[in-house]
């Protein structure tokens, strides 16, 4: 961690709004990943693409306010617009292999370039797996869990809850990227790393992720808590963002997705859903 200036004495006269352009691409398949390629007809791919399209037009996404004290760096030029790319891949294993990540994260906000660039990324990128087998299992487990604890549980309700939780992966990772823009003034991970290494800025890539020493609410927080606070903040914001776009999602795309990964047939679910007063 770098030494940090006393920012409390500095008034930021450069508070800026940064415009964000969201795009989506499919991850190119490589033999060495030993994973199936992304199925172009996958309902998960379709719904994630529909979500990206809605999110791109959402004001909270398309313009963000920089929280970084740009006035501290009068010699640096900060971008007025930033691209964020959503990469859809087939499985979590393919994602972990390509970005050399470990553990259980369902999606990634990638500050490293993975297969695209050496070391740090020169553009903001989030990776979301359209992992159909994983989602099927998730929905099954949610059903089993719900029926054990909730006497009023219905399969449709628990299936929707599981699907929504999975779809929040996209908005959660997007909130990490938006945070990175707010904290880093729109500079790419690679440039933040370079500028930080040569002492031109007093924060590093980790600080730009967490907002540590940059955000007003993170200036006096113990270093050990930075990650936890970041995850809490991003999870809540990702859920809010999903709740905002869900009503605008094409109901046919949503139903098709639910039917594709739900253990019961769509007709069964539809029957059950035809009596909303039961909820
Ligand atoms: Zn996260």
Which of the pair, 213 or 242, is modelled with greater confidence? 242
Q: Number of structural domains, the chain?
A: 1
Q: Are 208 and 192 in contact (CB under 8 A)?
A: yes
Give me ligand 1 centre to Cα 234, in Å: 6
Q: Cα-atom radius of gyration of the chain, to the nearest Å?
A: 21
How many beta carbons lie within 10 A of that of residue 116, not counting itself? 17
pLDDT of residue 62: 97
> Average pLDDT in the 11-33 region?
80
Q: 179 lies in a domain?
A: yes
Contacts 24+ apart (CB under 8 A), 231-238: 233/175, 233/179, 234/172, 234/175, 234/176, 234/179, 235/172, 237/171, 237/175, 238/168, 238/171, 238/172, 238/173, 238/174, 238/175
Q: 50 lies in a domain?
A: yes
Give me ligand 1 centre to Cα 172, in Å: 6
Q: Are 4 and 202 in contact (CB under 8 A)?
A: yes
Give me ligand 1 centre to Cα 9, in Å: 32
Q: Is 81 exposed, middle or buried (0-12, 13-18, 19+ CB in 10 A)?
A: exposed
Q: 272 lies in a domain?
A: no
d(CA 227, CA 235) in angstroms, rounded, equals 12
pTM of the model: 0.88
222: containing domain: 13-261
| Interior angle at CA 240, CA 234 and CA 243, nearest 5 | 140
> Average pLDDT in the 172-184 region?
97
Residue pLDDT, tens place only, 36-95: 889 999 999 999 999 999 999 999 999 999 998 888 899 999 999 999 999 999 999 889
Q: 3 lies in a domain?
A: no
Q: 6 lies in a domain?
A: no
Give me ligand 1 centre to Cα 235, in Å: 7
Token pair listed for 26 = 């499919």
Give me ligand 1 centre to Cα 111, in Å: 13
pLDDT of residue 7: 45
Give me ligand 1 centre to Cα 146, in Å: 25
Give me ligand 1 centre to Cα 173, in Å: 6
Which of the pair, 245 or 155, is modelled with greater confidence? 245
How many beta carbons lie within 10 A of that of residue 16, not counting itself? 15
Mean pLDDT score of the chain, rounded to an integer? 87
Give me ligand 1 centre to Cα 151, in Å: 32
Residue pLDDT, tens place only, 138-166: 999 998 888 777 777 788 889 999 999 99
Share of the chain above pLDDT 70, in %: 89
Q: Tell me the angle at which helices 266-273 and 251-261 cross, rounded to the nearest 10 degrees.
A: 120
Q: 98 lies in a domain?
A: yes
């Amino acid at each position: 961690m770098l030494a940090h200036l006393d920012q409390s004495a500095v008034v930021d006269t450069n508070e800026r709004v940064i415009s964000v352009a969201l795009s989506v691409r499919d991850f190119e398949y490589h033999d060495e990943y030993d994973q199936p390629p992304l199925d172009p007809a996958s309902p998960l791919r379709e719904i994630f693409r529909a979500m990206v399209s809605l999110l791109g037009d959402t004001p909270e996404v398309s313009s963000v306010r920089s929280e970084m004290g740009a006035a501290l760096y009068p010699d640096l030029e900060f971008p007025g617009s930033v691209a964020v790319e959503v990469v859809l891949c087939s499985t979590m294993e393919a994602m972990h292999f390509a970005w050399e990540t470990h553990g259980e994260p369902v999606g990634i906000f990638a500050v490293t370039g993975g297969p695209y660039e050496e070391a740090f990324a020169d553009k903001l990128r989030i990776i979301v797996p359209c992992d159909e087998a994983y989602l099927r299992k998730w929905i099954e487990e949610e059903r089993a869990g719900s029926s054990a604890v909730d006497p009023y549980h219905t399969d449709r309700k628990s299936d929707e809850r599981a699907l929504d939780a999975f779809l929040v992966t996209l908005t959660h990772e997007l909130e990490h990227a938006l945070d990175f823009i707010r904290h880093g003034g729109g500079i790419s991970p690679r440039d933040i790393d370079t500028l930080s290494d040569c002492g031109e800025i007093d924060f590093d890539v980790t600080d730009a992720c967490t907002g540590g020493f940059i955000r007003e609410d993170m200036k006096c927080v113990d270093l050990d808590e930075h990650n936890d606070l970041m995850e809490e903040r991003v999870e809540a914001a990702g859920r809010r963002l999903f709740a905002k776009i869900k009503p605008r999602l094409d109901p046919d795309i949503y139903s098709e997705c639910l039917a594709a990964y739900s253990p019961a047939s769509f007709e069964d679910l539809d029957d059950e859903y035809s009596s909303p007063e039961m909820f």
